[in-house]
Structures are given as structure tokens and as C-alpha cells.
Structure 1
Amino acid sequence: MRQAVAGLDTPYPIGSLLPAVFQEDPLAMRWTAALDEVIAPAISTLDCLAAYLDPRLAPADFVRWLAGWLGTVLDENWPLHRQRAAVAHSVRLYRLRGTAEGLRALIELVTGGEVELVENGGVHWSTAPDSALPGEPTARLTVRVTVPKGEPVDVAALEELIVAEKPAHVPHGLEVVER
């Protein structure tokens, strides 16, 4: 149940909307003032709805709720600025999901570092039939993350993230380097 917020007045007092006969009644005015106090937070929220839907401005608990709306999983251990960035970029990251660019962007967002992906595949075209295929016959991926010195990185969580985002048949290696 929503609680009244001390000092928060409503811009739309109910008592002023009543007919004059009720505005002269002290009981009716006290009763509507009590209602004003209770619904003032809801009115304030609705008046500021655009800010609540912007992950850069929303209250911390609402950022996690926005993440749920978008299907984004946030790590509770991340600092608030990183959680806000994850929600703000989630639509772009969904669009890039399954690509090397998407994996790189996601890892950069999670770690705050620079990411280098080394893969052995490739794309090539040729006008000559039976030309050599690019890359190597066995797939593999190396993820190298360079983070600022002293910046903590949860390697186990990063491993889980890479496993969830890369193609299942591609083995990977992870290197975390401090600069």
C-alpha cells in the first residue's frame, strides 16, 4: 500500500473541485485533504512518468523494474550506473544478439573494459568454383578483455555470460588483462 509522503502537496486538490456548499464544510475539506495527501505520490509519479521510463533518470528500484519489462537480467552487484547503462542499451543489444559486435558490446558494457574477439572463421566470396574456404575447419573464439587497473571483474559471471551469448558449438577462451 502506498504511503503518504511528508511535505508533498498535490497540484490538484480535490476540495477545490467540490461544489461551494461542500467547500464551506470543514469535515468535507479535511476528508478531501486526507485523500489529497494519500494520492499525491501517485499524481507526482504520473506527472513525472517520462522520467520514470528513462533509465538514466529513474529511481534505482524502478531501473530494475524497467529491466524486467525489457527482459534484461541485471546483476545486483553491478554499480547503479552500469545497471542504468544495461537497461538503456538493452534494445540495441537485442538487435545485435548472436553477432560478434553484439557480444563485444555486451561484454564492454558489463566490464567497462575494451574487448577484443579473435575467431577463426571468416567470410569470403569468389567467382571461381572450388576456391578455398576461409578460416579454419574447427570453430573457436578467444575473448580478451582489457580493464583499468584495480577494476574488479567477476570472471565466473563473465564466463557464464559468454556461454549464454556465443553459439553453443563454438569453444571459447577468456583472458582478462589489466592495463
Structure 2
Amino acid sequence: MLADDFFVRFVRIFQAEAQTLLSHADTLPHLADPRLAPIEMVRYLSRWLAAPGVDDAYGSRAQRLMLLTVAKTLPWRGTRKALATMLELYSGEPAIISESGGVFDQGRAPDGARWVRLEVTSTGPLAEEDFVELVRDEVPAHIGVEIVVAGQQIWPVDGSAASAGRRER
């Protein structure tokens, strides 16, 4: 049978397929680990977790760090802790967060609109519009947002606190 050229080529097709399947089976335990997974899997996991800004434009190291950070902050999403972590990841510098929130006894919460002011020195690798979108996705919808980058307010564009709470898309 080994003398028959057709048979040998035919069997090699199945050997190549089997080798591919075995190779995938050997790497299966590592596919969900962002430090070891192929970069395509990192992008897939990032989309699955709705990680903002993770795309091909960043290097593989940055994409892995973004995925790990998003996964780490997911249980805290919408809180000051998660927002600070995300801002520092993208800006590369500490973020200053001022807010009206807090924990109050029943009936003791202050009146008025809720707000948060975020100050960073840079938007990092993101364009200002993308950075604003990142922040607006992370802050709860009922909170007014002010974003200041390098001393200049970039959101809301008109500078009014009232428009900071609107969620127009």
C-alpha cells in the first residue's frame, strides 16, 4: 500500500488533520489564560467581556494587560475603584476622582444631582472621543460626568454640568 502514491497522499491528509486536533487539545487548558493564550483568543475574550479599546492597534502585551484589568475590575464596575483602575490603565498616570457619592443613613442622602469629576494628565493611546466614550460606558447613566485632561475640560463639550448627565448616542 505504501507503494501506491494516491493512498500515501490520501492518508497524509488525515494525519495532518489529526495532528491539528491533537495540537489544539494540548493547548486547550491555556486558551482562557490571557498571559498564554494566542492573541486572537485574547481579542475574543476581550469582546466577550466588552473590554473597551482592545483592538489590533495595540501590541499583544497591551491587549493582554487590558483584558486582565477589565476582568479584575468587572465585579466593581460602576464604582470609584473600577473607574480609577480603568482610567489609570489607559492614561498611564494616576487619576483624580471627585464625586458626590457616598454611603448615607436612610433619609440623610444629600439632595441634588449626582456627579463625578475625573482628572487625568493624558488619554493615553486613545483619542479624546474614545476616552470620553470609555468613561461614559463605565459611569452609571444617572451620574453627571465631567472629564478633564491635562487641565482642559473635554466633557461635557459645552461645559455645562446639566449636559454631563445626558446619555445621547
TM over 0.5: yes
Matches of 2:74 and 2:104 in 1, distance apart? 27
The Cα offsets for residues 42-98 of structure 1, whole Å up to 9 and x where unpaired, read as 321220122222111222222112223434344323332222122223333221112
- C-alpha displacement at 1:171, in angstroms? 1.7
Report if aligned partners of 2:43, 2:54 keep a CA contact under 8 Å in 1: no
Identity %, equivalent residues: 26
Q: Which residue is equivalent to 2:75? A: 95
3-state SS of 1:98 partner: coil
Pair 50,158 (structure 1): closer, same or farther in 2 beyond 3 Å: same
Q: TM-score, normalising length from structure 1?
A: 0.66
**Residue identity opposite 2:141 in structure 1:** A
Cross-structure match for 1:170 = 143
Measure, in 2, the Cα distance between the counterparts of 1:69 and 1:42: 25
1:77-127 per-residue CA deviation (whole Å, 9 max, x = no partner) reads 33322221222233332211121111112222233322121112333459x
CA 168–30 in structure 1, closer or farther in 2 if over 3 Å, else same: closer
Map 1:46-125 onto structure 2 (within 5 A): 46-76=25-55, 77-125=57-105
Q: What residue is the counterpart of 2:166 in the other structure?
A: none
1:114 partner SS: coil
TM-score normalized with structure 2 length: 0.69
Q: Is the 8 A contact 1:145 1:177 kept in 2?
A: yes
**Higher gyration radius (CA):** 1
Following TM superposition, the consecutive aligned residue runs of length 4 or more in structure 1 with deviations greater than 4 angstroms are: 27-30, 133-136
Match of 2:131 in 1: 158
CA deviations on 1:133-167 (whole Å, 9 max, x unpaired) are 5667332211112359xx54421111111112212
Q: Name the CA distance, whole Å, in 2 between partners of 1:70 and 1:134.
A: 33
Consecutive unaligned residues in structure 2, runs of 5 or more: 152-169
How many corresponding residue pairs?
147
Task: Please report the RMSD computed on the Cα atoms of aligned residues, expressed in angstroms.
Answer: 2.9
